Amino acid sequence: MATATVTSKGQTTIPKRIREHLRLGSGDRVEFVIDREGRVVLTPLKVDIRELRGMLGRAPRHVTIEEMDEAIKEAVVRKYRSK
């Protein structure tokens, strides 16, 4: 069983065995949830990149590389014409 001590500031160190099990590293965030039985569950807040899909909505349309290149050229011309 892994144990830890709470400091006067309410802080604790997650034991190494638990950090390794949860694959937690420095700077990672965790969430504490109290379940229906009153137990506290510690969950890593790591987001799989695939979970972010669709977060910003759908793109208005697909753009080709050629269209991107043309838009960049036009922006550069506008920028340097105004100077």
How far CA 37 is from CA of 30, 33, 41, 74, in Å, comes to 20, 11, 11, 62
Q: Is residue 60 part of a domain?
A: yes
* Residue 11: per-residue pLDDT: 95
Q: Range of 54's domain?
A: 50-81
Q: What is the pLDDT of residues 26-51, one digit of tens each?
A: 888 899 999 999 999 999 887 677 76
The whole-angstrom separation of Cα 76 and Cα 83 is 11
Q: What angle do CA 18, 19, 20 make, to 5 degrees?
A: 90
Domain count across the chain: 1
- Please check whether residue 54 lies inside any domain of the structure: yes
Pairing of strands 30-34, 40-44: antiparallel
**Is residue 27 included in any domain, yes or no?**
no
Rounded to two decimals, the pTM is 0.52
